[in-house]
Amino acid sequence: HTRKTIFSGIQPTGVPHLGNYLGALRQWVDVQDNAAPNTTMIYSLVDLHAITVRQDPKQLRQWKKESLSMLLAIGLDPNKSTIFHQSDVPAHSELMWILSCQASTGYLGRMTQWKDKTANEKDSSEKLKLGLFSYPVLQAADVLVHRATHVPVGHDQAQHLEFAREVANGFNHTFGTDALIPPETLISPAKRVMSLTDPLAKMSKSHPNPKSRILLTDSEEVIRSKVKAAVTDSIDGITYDPERRPGVSNLIDILYHTDSRSAYSSQEESAKDLAGRSMRALKERVADTVESTVKRIRASYEDLLHDEFYLDRVAAEGAEKAAKSAAVTMKAVKNAVGL
């Protein structure tokens, strides 16, 4: 069997929501629980990425703790997966600098995320931060420093992974080395989960309306009230039609993806079963299904969050393992460059 290393990360910028879970985090746990013996799983809370926009230090510290608790609550096991805070392993920043000396500013300037985030600030380059521009270089360093072979990401990140491969190949070519391994992208199979209040936008940690997202910490009552308030339409009956019925279709997607033991083989089939029912019945079924998944996660999260001693130990041991993994690459990289 060939060696396989999976790397992925999430920003500790708030409690993960159902979109994070269905689109990314649940896959992390699946990979861990079904891994072949020579697979290494490395999952990072990417706090250095989080500071590419202004963060309140106290808030960020709290979010880091909450996010670590959540990774454990969903079922990541520190004995099987390496779980760590990115800033605890300086090799990420160190490799980023070395890669920055290879990366093309033209290529970075064409990144969709950079263009989106800066579209409103066209005339104020004084305000645009270098860290936001070089975000993909840090992301490339995250993956490459652990010699990741496979990186599970959402659709929005595919372009950044392409950049990481480009940088790795460029570096290897320039220095006549194989120190860096161009990673493969594993695009998440789950559809993008959309906002409950604005079904044309994705569910996101940063959407101003808290009713737009279901948090993995929400109580049953809160879940029910958010689903009840979800935007739908006044068309009769339940059909799956993302173009014409984005709100209803998003609820069906959530139902279909959340119920992992679902008897249905597609969203269309699950909609057919609900065809004669009311919107209220659909919403009740969505809320029941989400609650039955979130219930265990929420309870486990609450226990973990108060166990500071355990959280600190997990973070310290994760950082130690991640540092060892990164050191192998840094030695080869520095040697190739002449450092």
Stretch that binds ligand ADP, among 154-162, 174-182, 295-303, 308-316 (CB under 6 A): 154-162
* Residues in contact with 134: Cβ distance below 8 Å, sequence separation at least 6, in sequence order: 96, 100, 103, 108
- The active-site residue out of 64, 65, 191, 202 is 202
Residue 83 CB, nearest approach to ligand ADP (Å): 15
Residue 90 CB, nearest approach to ligand ADP (Å): 22
CB nearer ligand ADP, residue 297 or residue 330:
297
Q: How many residues bind ligand ADP (CB under 6 A)?
A: 18
Our CA angle for 154, 75, 18, nearest 5°, is 45
Out of 88, 93, 154, 272, name the contact with ligand ADP by CB under 6 A.
154
- Judging by beta carbons within 10 Å of its beta carbon (0-12, 13-18, 19+), is residue 324 exposed, middle or buried? exposed
Residue 10 binds ligand ADP, judged by CB under 6 A: yes
Residue 216 binds ligand ADP, judged by CB under 6 A: no
CB nearer ligand ADP, residue 223 or residue 333:
223
Out of 150, 192, 211, 228, name the contact with ligand ADP by CB under 6 A.
192
- Alpha-helical segments (H) within the chain: 18-20, 26-33, 47-50, 57-73, 91-100, 105-109, 112-118, 130-133, 135-144, 158-175, 220-228, 246-258, 267-273, 279-305, 308-337
Residue 49 CB, nearest approach to ligand ADP (Å): 8
Residue 98 CB, nearest approach to ligand ADP (Å): 25
DSSP 17: B
Could you tell me which of 184, 141, 150 has the C-alpha nearest to residue 7?
150
Helix (H, G, I), strand (E, B) or coil at 181: coil
* Residues in contact with 211: Cβ distance below 8 Å, sequence separation at least 6, in sequence order: 196, 197, 226, 229
Residue 153 binds ligand ADP, judged by CB under 6 A: yes
Bridge partners (DSSP) listed for residue 6? 41, 150
CB nearer ligand ADP, residue 50 or residue 330:
50
Active site residue 324: no
Out of 5, 20, 81, 87, name the contact with ligand ADP by CB under 6 A.
20
Centroid of chain to Cα 182? 20
Residue 197 binds ligand ADP, judged by CB under 6 A: no
d(CA 63, CA 50): 10
Catalytic residues: 117, 202, 205
Contacts to ligand ADP by CB under 6 A: 10-11, 13, 19-20, 23-24, 153-154, 156-157, 192-193, 202-206
